[in-house]
Structure 1
Amino acid sequence: MTVHHLLEENSIANKFVAQLRDSNIQKDRLRFRKNIERIGEILGYELSKSLVYNPKNVKTPLGEAKLDLPRDEIVVCSILRAGLPLHNGLLNYFDDAENSFISAYRHHPNNDEEFQILVEYLASPSLEGKILLLADPMLATGSSFVNVLGALEPMGKPKEIHLVSVIGASEGIEYVDREFPDNSHLWIATIDEKLNDKGYIVPGLGDAGDLCFGPKLQH
């Protein structure tokens, strides 16, 4: 898997990531969602450089212009619910893409720190021969991406898989690298070194889903 680390070079994305991490600024849910969306746009732009393009003639009022346009069909799949703002950012650039939605959440069967990732909902078009963009802002243990990949298998084999995330932990990235096809790509804004004993990214930013949409009831 090829890892594309956005913050290896300085850009305006630094500001958006800083605001996402800031415990005072992130209380503003609208700004939090917007910053994830804007990072999705930046990652989508960078990702677009890796796609295959074909030449096409476009008629203008004064003649024809030759442009190279993306060749392959794209499906954007977000992991509910935290993936929705990131999904919107990608759609702002890949506006003619098809859409897929899947749920993945941490289930604590014994009401302790041990958890498993459960996938309970999937709505998706065929993925056969298409470019799949899997969007989830937090790549902690990597289990969500891996379980979602398994759940999507009946939808067909994508031509390429691009994971899109905002913050990841090195440990989770290593796990995803082992489980995904070799020609997969990870587009990520920033990478933190470790997980805590609860499987959350440190320093991270907290629970992205709760910060986007409010606390959820536990069951």
Structure 2
Amino acid sequence: MTIHHLLEENSIANKFVAQLRDTSVQNDRLRFRRNIERLGEILGYELSKSLSYQQQNITTPLGKSKINLLQEEIVVCSILRAGLPLHTGLLNYFDDAENSFISAYRHHPDNDENFEILVEYLASPSLEGKILLLADPMLATGSSFVNVMGALKTMGKPKAIHLVSVIAAREGINYVSREFPENSHLWIATIDEELDEKGYIVPGLGDAGDLCFGSKLQH
């Protein structure tokens, strides 16, 4: 898997990541969602450079103009619910893309710190021969991405897989790198080194889904 780490170089994306992490800012849900959306746009732009293009002729009022345009069929798939703002950011740029939605959540069967990832809902077009952008803002253990990809196998084999996330733990990156095809890509804004005993990214930013949409009852 090829890792594309956005914050290896300084850019305006630093500001959006800082505000996502900042406890004095992140409780503004509208700004929190918008910052994830903006990072989705930036990551989508960087990702677009790796795709295939073909020259086309465009008719202007005064003549013809040649320009290279994207030739790939794109499917943007977000992991509910935290993936929705990231999905929107990607869709702002890949506005012709098809859309897929899948649920994945941490289930604590014994009401302790141990959990399993459950996938219960899937709505998707065919993925056969298409470019799959799989969006989830937090890549902690990597189990959500792996379990979701397992569920998506019934939808066909993508031409290429691009994981898109905002913050990842090194352990999760290592796990998805082992489990996904070698020619897959991870587009990540920033990388943290640790997971705590509950499997949350440290320093991370907390629960992205709750910060986007409000707290939920636990399963």
- TM-score, with structure 2 as normaliser: 1.00
Q: Which one-letter code corresponds to 2:34 in the other structure? A: K
The alignment partner of 2:26 has SS state of helix
Match of 2:62 in 1: 62
- Counterparts of 1:13-92 in structure 2 under 5 Å? 13-92=13-92
Q: Which one-letter code corresponds to 2:63 in the other structure? A: G
Q: CA deviation at 1:33?
A: 0.1
The alignment partner of 1:25 has SS state of coil
Q: CA deviation at 1:3?
A: 0.2
Match of 1:207 in 2: 207
Q: Which one-letter code corresponds to 1:61 in the other structure? A: P
Aligned residues: 219
Which whole-Å CA distance do the structure 1 matches of 2:71 and 2:27 have between them? 41
Match of 1:6 in 2: 6
- Counterparts of 1:46-195 in structure 2 under 5 Å? 46-195=46-195
The alignment partner of 2:197 has SS state of coil
Q: Which one-letter code corresponds to 1:216 in the other structure? A: K
Which whole-Å CA distance do the structure 2 matches of 1:148 and 1:69 have between them? 30
Which whole-Å CA distance do the structure 2 matches of 1:131 and 1:213 have between them? 29
Q: CA deviation at 1:15?
A: 0.3
Q: Which one-letter code corresponds to 2:151 in the other structure? A: A
Q: CA deviation at 1:161?
A: 0.3
Q: Which one-letter code corresponds to 1:102 in the other structure? A: I
Which whole-Å CA distance do the structure 2 matches of 1:206 and 1:182 have between them? 30
Runs (4+) of structure 1 moved beyond 3 Å?
none
Which whole-Å CA distance do the structure 1 matches of 2:60 and 2:145 have between them? 43
Q: CA deviation at 1:2?
A: 0.1
Q: CA deviation at 1:176?
A: 0.2
- TM-score, with structure 1 as normaliser: 1.00
Which whole-Å CA distance do the structure 2 matches of 1:56 and 1:8 have between them? 34
Q: CA deviation at 1:24?
A: 1.3
Ranges in structure 1 where 5+ consecutive residues have no aligned partner: none
The alignment partner of 2:127 has SS state of coil
Q: Residues 24-48 of structure 1: CA distance to partner in whole angstroms, max 9, x if unpaired? A: 1001000000000000000000000
Q: CA deviation at 1:72?
A: 1.0
Which whole-Å CA distance do the structure 2 matches of 1:120 and 1:45 have between them? 31
Q: Which one-letter code corresponds to 1:114 in the other structure? A: N
Tell me the C-alpha RMSD between the 2 structures: 0.4
Q: CA deviation at 1:217?
A: 1.0
Ranges in structure 2 where 5+ consecutive residues have no aligned partner: none
Q: Which one-letter code corresponds to 2:209 in the other structure? A: G
Q: CA deviation at 1:218?
A: 1.5
Q: Residues 128-148 of structure 1: CA distance to partner in whole angstroms, max 9, x if unpaired? A: 000000000000000000000
Q: CA deviation at 1:202?
A: 0.1
Q: What percentage of residue pairs aligned between the two structures are identical?
A: 83
Which whole-Å CA distance do the structure 2 matches of 1:41 and 1:96 have between them? 14
The alignment partner of 1:152 has SS state of helix
Q: Residues 82-141 of structure 1: CA distance to partner in whole angstroms, max 9, x if unpaired? A: 000000000000000000000000000000000000000000000000000000000000
Which whole-Å CA distance do the structure 1 matches of 2:218 and 2:133 have between them? 29
